């Protein structure tokens, strides 16, 4: 592991505690060296992380060394398990995610992971995953069983039983030691807690709100996929190296999953299908044939080698949009942006087919130009992909994309590849043929 060029990089409020972590658990404790550290001002009471940097408040210095070590080990696992980034990802997929409840679930997993260690101290009021399952969901499990079965997203979905309703998301909830009544929540425009959410919030009322997710629009989805993959590899290797001295009780089910963004998958699939290749021309020879014919002399005849035509066929993409499906405007905008960028880059022609149980509208776009933003979802109740795919076949595409919820029959299987682009809410649907791409 490359060390910082200057020792001053390690001079921050958590330096002594990190040294203690590395002394007792060299590999898993050394994960802290992959994280940025910074001393913060009064806006951070003790410690907080945005998934990249650990920020230490002034109150951190007054804590004893074992508690400092516990807090840093706790925060480092938040970073390694990508909890702040996964909060943002879950929020992008489902919309309303309560940060306080998510923080309680993430803390419960991390605390149970570290709970077997005697050389660090976790703060008073810490919540453990087996405790959360027992008191909130009525499920009995040991710490090892719970860690092998639950990830933070599954735990949060099981606990968040707030009834759907209008109102803004609770960003952060109440602070340590504070409780909001249902009347206060309604006055603030937030969704009221159900029994599970209320029990979890009461159980975790004393935890430190140490997750501070900070979305960065400049970071592409591919970067986060690479970071998740890298941190999973670090955690697995460090746990194996430390063996019985590992900070990880076990390799938890909450390890970050490296999910390739659907945008990247779509680009690769379309680039392969729409790449232009020069057409073979039997009316003109290759240059190698002419050169070899000259060397062979006038009395020897070489086998004919066909050349390539200067005119390359324009690749064609068919986009079929099922207007009876549940496609929200934001997802349609992201999908349209990707299609427009791909067709411009590959200079591909595009035919847009809009329909439900029958074809309602067909539009052809010149190579390199497309506009999918004005699609109106005003179809009927049912869907039949057969007439839509048959219409696409009349335009002889190289590949087709069907934006749908996969609720309908397809009695025509075309000879060219088909990608079924499905919203995340319908990821369990099974495509009749071709490849399914979940749009998250």
pTM for the whole structure: 0.60
Closest of 355, 350, 402 to residue 371, by C-alpha: 350
pLDDT value at 8 more than 70: no
Element (H, E) at 67: helix 65-80
The fourth-level CATH superfamily of domain 316-439 is: von Willebrand factor, type A domain (3.40.50.410)
Across the range 209-224, mean pLDDT stands at 79
> Partners of 39 in the beta sheet?
56
Sequence ranges of the domains in the chain: 7-259, 278-312, 316-439
Local confidence band at 342 (pLDDT 50, 70, 90 cut-offs): confident
Instruction: Classify residue 309 by burial, with Cβ atoms within 10 Å: 0-12, 13-18, 19+.
Output: middle
Q: What pLDDT is attached to residue 16?
A: 94
Mean pLDDT across the stretch 372-394? 77
Q: Is 84 helix (H, G, I), strand (E, B) or coil?
A: helix
What's the confidence (pLDDT) of residue 174? 40
pLDDT number for residue 29: 95
In angstroms, rounded to a whole number, what is the distance separating the alpha carbons of residues 106 and 81?
9
Contacts of 13 (CB under 8 A, 6+ apart): 39, 56, 60, 61
Looking at residues 267-294, what average pLDDT do you find?
A: 73
56 and 37 Cβ atoms separated by less than 8 Å: yes
Nearest to 344 by CA among 440, 267, 439: 267
328 CB-contact burial (10 Å; exposed 0-12 / middle 13-18 / buried 19+): exposed
384 vs 353: CA distance, rounded Å? 13
38-92 pLDDT per residue, tens: 998 777 789 999 999 999 999 999 999 999 999 999 999 999 999 999 999 888 8
Those residues whose C-beta lies under 8 Å from the C-beta of residue 389, and which sit 6 or more positions away, are 320, 400, 402, 410, 412, 413, 414, 418
Which secondary-structure segment (H or E) carries 393?
helix 385-393
pLDDT band (50, 70, 90) for residue 373: low
Q: How confident is the model at residue 6 (pLDDT cuts 50, 70, 90)?
A: very low
Residues 133-179 pLDDT 10s: 999 999 999 999 999 999 999 999 999 998 875 444 444 444 433 44
Ramachandran region, residue 291 (left: φ > 0; alpha: ψ -120 to 50; beta: rest): alpha
As a whole number, mean pLDDT of residues 222-250 equals 88
pLDDT at 263 over 70: no
For 359, other C-beta atoms within 10 Å of its C-beta total: 15
Q: Report H helices in 205-302.
A: 221-242, 262-274, 287-296
- Percentage of the chain beyond pLDDT 90 is 43
Tally of residues, the chain: 440
Res. 3: pLDDT tops 60: no
Mean local confidence (pLDDT), 223-250: 89
Confidence of residue 287 (pLDDT cuts 50, 70, 90): confident
Residue-wise pLDDT tens digits, 179-197: 444 444 444 446 798 999 9
Q: Which pLDDT value is given to residue 76? A: 96
- Taking phi over 0 as left and psi of -120 to 50 as alpha, with beta for the rest, 123 belongs to beta
362 has pLDDT over 50: yes
pLDDT tier for residue 390 given thresholds of 50, 70 and 90: very high
Instruction: Supply the pLDDT for residue 171.
Output: 41
pLDDT at 336: 78
The helix/strand/coil state of 44 is coil
Of 75-84, 271-280, 291-300, where does the model show the most confidence? 75-84
Q: Is 203 exposed, middle or buried (0-12, 13-18, 19+ CB in 10 A)?
A: middle
Q: Let me know: does 315 contact 398? Beta carbons within 8 Å.
A: yes
The arithmetic mean of pLDDT across residues 337-347, rounded, is 77
pLDDT above 70 coverage of the chain, percent: 80
């Amino acid at each position: 592991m490359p060390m910082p060029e200057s020792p001053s990089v390690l001079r921050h409020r958590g330096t002594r505690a990190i040294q203690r972590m590395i002394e007792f658990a060299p590999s898993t404790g050394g994960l802290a060296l992959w994280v940025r550290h910074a001393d913060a001002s009064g806006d951070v009471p003790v410690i907080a992380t945005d998934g990249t940097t650990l920020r230490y408040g002034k109150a951190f210095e007054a804590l004893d060394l074992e508690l400092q070590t516990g807090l840093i080990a706790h925060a480092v696992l938040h970073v390694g398990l990508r909890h702040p980034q996964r909060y943002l990802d879950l929020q992008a997929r489902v919309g309303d995610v309560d940060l306080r409840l998510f923080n309680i679930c993430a803390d419960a997993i991390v605390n149970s992971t570290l709970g077997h260690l005697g050389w660090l101290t976790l703060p008073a009021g810490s919540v453990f995953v087996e405790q959360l399952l027992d008191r909130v969901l009525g499920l009995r499990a040991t710490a090892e069983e719970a860690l092998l079965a639950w990830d933070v997203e599954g735990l949060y979905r099981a606990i968040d039983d707030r009834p759907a309703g209008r109102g803004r998301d609770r960003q952060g909830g109440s602070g340590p030691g504070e409780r909001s009544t249902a009347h206060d929540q309604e006055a603030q425009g937030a969704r009221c807690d159900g029994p599970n959410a209320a029990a979890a919030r009461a159980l975790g009322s004393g935890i430190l709100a140490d997750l501070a997710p900070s979305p960065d629009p400049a970071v592409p989805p591919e970067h986060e996929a690479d970071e998740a993959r890298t941190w999973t590899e670090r955690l697995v290797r460090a746990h194996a190296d430390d063996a019985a001295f590992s900070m990880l009780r076990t390799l938890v089910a909450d390890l970050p999953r490296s999910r390739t963004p659907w945008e990247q998958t779509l680009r690769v699939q379309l680039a392969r299908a729409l790449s232009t290749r020069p057409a073979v021309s039997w009316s003109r020879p290759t240059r190698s044939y002419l050169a070899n014919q000259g060397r062979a002399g006038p009395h020897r005849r070489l086998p004919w080698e066909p050349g390539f035509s200067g005119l390359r066929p324009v690749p064609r993409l068919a986009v079929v949009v099922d207007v009876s499906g549940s496609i929200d405007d934001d997802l349609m905008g992201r999908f349209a942006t990707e299609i427009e960028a791909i067709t411009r880059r590959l200079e591909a022609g595009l035919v847009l087919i809009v329909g439900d149980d029958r074809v309602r509208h067909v539009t052809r776009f010149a190579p390199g130009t497309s506009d999918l933003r004005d699609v109106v979802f005003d179809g009927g109740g049912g869907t039949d992909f057969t007439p839509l795919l048959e219409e696409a076949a009349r335009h002889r595409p190289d590949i087709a994309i069907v934006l749908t919820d996969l609720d309908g029959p397809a009695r025509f299987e075309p000879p060219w590849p088909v990608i079924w682009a499905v919203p995340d809410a319908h990821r369990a649907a099974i495509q009749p043929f071709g490849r399914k791409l979940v749009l998250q």
